[in-house]
Chains A and B, each alone.
Chain A
Amino acid sequence: MHSPRDGQGVAAAAAGVAHPALGVATPAAKTRRPISLWLVFCALSSLLLLFMIIAPLIVCLWGSFTTLKVMGAGSERGAGWEQVTTSRDEEKAESQSAAASVDLGVFAKGARNIAGSVTTFWYQYVWEVYGGTLHLSLMLAVISICICIVLGVLGGYALVRYTFFGKNLIEEMILLPLSLPGIAVAVALIETYGVLRGSWVIILFGHLLYTLPFMMQSVTNTLRSFDFVTLEQAASSMGAGPWQRLRYILLPNLKHAIIVGSLLVFAISLGEFNASFLLNTPFNQTFPAALYDSYTNDSFQVSSAATCIFMFIVIPALMAMQLIGGKEMRDIGGA
């Protein structure tokens, strides 16, 4: 209870600096401000949320390395166990035929014989079994980013710069996926484009539908935050052609928005499950769907390792976005 109270004076002073319009209360008024209860509430709920977010991640990280069986045994009967052992056996056979002995490491010994309290065996297991799905997910994310940049910049530019018939309707339509349940989209896509089932194109459609609105928001928020139209008209009246305006006005101003939007698109595309779970097939599985397989079939440790791999990729992207993201991040509130 003490730290918020003690910090209040400092914090209020800082707020006074930041907001001169309201921070000019007299010192006497500052000490009387009965807002401390509110501050305590804010601090407590912040701490609770921080705990809620960080604690499971720590447990997950611990679980991905541990050999302790306190939260469930490390089984040798996971979904892909045969895959791991046979692929290693083949490797062994090949290498033996090449008259070379190869150290099989932990795979030869199996999960039960791991020595020590910390192991990276679970990561090797996940890499071996679910590596392909991670590859597909990363590919989809990169393709999504590329298409989002092209369509998002083009569309955002058109929305900010021009008026045309049905503009409001189109803008509403582009933002609609933010509130549209993913599973409804998946059912609609399957029942309409059943032919495409089995190729990753239909998964890409689902991902694009859910990532484009974010890119659009990022672009339009940036272009609307300053007088872009006047700037461009000035350039145009001085004789700048379309290419020059794109190269020297639009892209430099949008650089930041594109980076932030791309990171967001990457994170969302990689984690997208609601729509893509139904669009998945066993031959075209995205990483979140593989995670679901892992949760239903594998041990606690293997599932933790799979989750950690996901976190190692996504959390740095989100952190980078927060750290470099400025104004446009604040206004992207949507889903």
Chain B
Amino acid sequence: MMRHWLGALYIMPLTVFFVAVMVYPFFNMVFQGFIPSQAMLEAGSAMSTADGEYIVTWDELTLANYLSVFTDDHIRSGLTLSLAISVIVSFVSIFLCIGPAWLLVRKEFPGKRMFRAILTVPMAFSGIIIGFLAVIMIGRIGAIPLITDWLFGIPVAEALAYSLTGLGIAYIWFQIPRATLNLESAIRKFDWDLESAARSLGASPFQTVRYVLLPLLTPAIVSTMAVTFAVSMGSFGVALLLLKKATVLPLEIYTQMYSTLAFELSAALSVQLAVVTVGVNYFLRRYGERHYAFAS
């Protein structure tokens, strides 16, 4: 570790890029959120020039856009649904993915690399593709209803894709690689001697799980949840394709931007979405890291 000016020089292009494309636009967006929305401007007494540029004076800046997440029922329901589905999907995907992750770390079996490769496939699939796959599998004339109807005479899971359950299933789909890979790398760091020590000291399987494995697993689960929660909160394509009446926060931002043309409101909502997501992610990640101390 030496010659710090050289390191600063090498990192400079990257820093400039991130500041220009992420940090500065974000603070600009925070400011935009304080400007009254166009609709409010028209109703109020704001001046507008001939070419549609608004001149906003300092005392016209308002908190209304930021408060609309509490005052507007539709937006509030979007936030609630986003939070609820992100939390539930995080738990379910961890429950489903902990088995495969454990197999990948602890067992050798033929086709292991292939198994791992298949589990990684949803990684690059964007939300809309997953929405489409949900529609063709569990939509109104999806494959599963058609096949079960043909086999047993009862269409199973018909039009499930358009319900909240279907939305959850689609969300779980794209969490599979994230949850599996994160859990796998976390489980790999375990000190497995502790488990065999507990067993050789006479702990029952239940005691081993309760007092050794669960405390070891908790940080792994928490740090995985940091990722899955953030990705679910930000996901937008699935809801765009599947949701008809209900809304999630990213979808609401899109609607405000392109249907209502309320740029300032969508800026405020984006800021809130980003702050909630990054904040929760940060605290979960820190918690996971802090408690890794005794695992490995």
* In the complex, chain A residues whose CB is within 8 Å of the CB of B99: 41-46
| A191 in contact with B97 (CB, 8 Å) | no
Chain B residue nearest in CB terms to A23: B196
B70 at the interface (CB under 8 A from A): no
Within 8 A of A (CB), among B242-292: 250, 253-254, 257, 263, 266-267, 270-271, 273-274, 277-278, 281-282
A176 at the interface (CB under 8 A from B): yes
Contact with B along A154-184 (1 / 0, CB 8 A): 1101110111110100100110111111111
| B29 in contact with A187 (CB, 8 Å) | yes
Within 8 A of B (CB), among A1-56: 7, 11, 14-15, 17-19, 21-22, 25, 34-35, 41-46, 48-50, 52-56
Interface residues on B, range: 35 or more
CB distance from B36 to the nearest CB of A (A): 15
| B7 in contact with A161 (CB, 8 Å) | yes
| B124 in contact with A49 (CB, 8 Å) | no
- With A44-B99, A45-B99, A333-B181: A164-B25 Cβ-Cβ less than 8 Å: no
| A53 in contact with B11 (CB, 8 Å) | no
- With A46-B115, A151-B13: A335-B129 Cβ-Cβ less than 8 Å: no
Contact with A along B127-157 (1 / 0, CB 8 A): 1110111111100011100100000000000
| B141 in contact with A209 (CB, 8 Å) | no
Mark the stretch among A76-84, A102-110, A125-133, A303-311 that contacts chain B.
A303-311
Chain A residue nearest in CB terms to B143: A59
- With A188-B270, A189-B21: A11-B109 Cβ-Cβ less than 8 Å: yes
| A15 in contact with B108 (CB, 8 Å) | yes
* In the complex, chain A residues whose CB is within 8 Å of the CB of B7: 158-159, 161-164, 167
| A22 in contact with B195 (CB, 8 Å) | yes
| B13 in contact with A173 (CB, 8 Å) | no
A234 at the interface (CB under 8 A from B): no
A240 at the interface (CB under 8 A from B): no
Mark the stretch among A91-99, A115-123, A251-259, A263-271 that contacts chain B.
A263-271
Specify which of B14, B24, B115, B257 is in contact with A187 (CB 8 Å cutoff).
Answer: B257
- With A15-B107, A161-B7: A189-B185 Cβ-Cβ less than 8 Å: no
CB distance from B82 to the nearest CB of A (A): 10
A195 at the interface (CB under 8 A from B): no
| B21 in contact with A179 (CB, 8 Å) | no
Contact with A along B157-190 (1 / 0, CB 8 A): 0000000000000001100101011101100100
* In the complex, chain B residues whose CB is within 8 Å of the CB of A113: none
A157 and B22 CA atoms in complex are apart in Å by 22
| B237 in contact with A273 (CB, 8 Å) | yes
B217 at the interface (CB under 8 A from A): no
| B185 in contact with A288 (CB, 8 Å) | no
A100 at the interface (CB under 8 A from B): no
A155 and B35 CA atoms in complex are apart in Å by 37
* In the complex, chain A residues whose CB is within 8 Å of the CB of B29: 184, 187-188, 191-192
Chain A-chain B contacts (Cβ-Cβ < 8 Å), number: 308
A140 at the interface (CB under 8 A from B): no
Contact with B along A290-332 (1 / 0, CB 8 A): 0110010000100110010010001101110111000000111
A300 and B142 CA atoms in complex are apart in Å by 10
| B141 in contact with A71 (CB, 8 Å) | yes
CB distance from B9 to the nearest CB of A (A): 8
- With A182-B234, A188-B25, A333-B178: A307-B100 Cβ-Cβ less than 8 Å: no
| B124 in contact with A318 (CB, 8 Å) | yes
Most buried by A among B2, B11, B253: B11
B76 at the interface (CB under 8 A from A): no
A278 at the interface (CB under 8 A from B): yes
A182 and B249 CA atoms in complex are apart in Å by 12
B37 at the interface (CB under 8 A from A): no
* In the complex, chain A residues whose CB is within 8 Å of the CB of B3: 162
| A164 in contact with B178 (CB, 8 Å) | no
* In the complex, chain A residues whose CB is within 8 Å of the CB of B26: 184, 188
B215 at the interface (CB under 8 A from A): no
* In the complex, chain A residues whose CB is within 8 Å of the CB of B184: 330
| A34 in contact with B205 (CB, 8 Å) | yes
Chain A residue nearest in CB terms to B14: A155
- With A22-B196, A267-B124: A164-B254 Cβ-Cβ less than 8 Å: no
| A45 in contact with B181 (CB, 8 Å) | no
Chain A residue nearest in CB terms to B102: A42
Specify which of A48, A55, A318 is in contact with B121 (CB 8 Å cutoff).
Answer: A318
| B132 in contact with A303 (CB, 8 Å) | yes
B192 at the interface (CB under 8 A from A): yes
Chain A residue nearest in CB terms to B30: A188
B210 at the interface (CB under 8 A from A): no
A31 and B64 CA atoms in complex are apart in Å by 67
A48 and B119 CA atoms in complex are apart in Å by 11
A→B interface (CB under 8 Å): 7, 11, 14-15, 17-19, 21-22, 25, 34-35, 41-46, 48-50, 52-57, 59-60, 63, 70-72, 151, 154-155, 157-159, 161-165, 167, 170, 173-174, 176-185, 187-193, 205, 208-209, 212, 229, 267-268, 270-274, 277-278, 288, 291-292, 295, 300, 303-304, 307, 310, 314-315, 317-319, 321-323, 330-335
With A191-B29, A209-B22 already in contact, 11 other A-B pairs whose C-beta atoms are closer than 8 Å: A11-B109, A46-B99, A70-B146, A154-B10, A155-B13, A178-B230, A179-B282, A192-B29, A208-B21, A314-B124, A322-B113
Q: Can you report 10 A-B residue pairs in the complex whose CB atoms are below 8 A from each other?
A: A19-B192, A162-B3, A170-B11, A179-B278, A184-B274, A188-B270, A315-B121, A318-B120, A322-B113, A330-B184
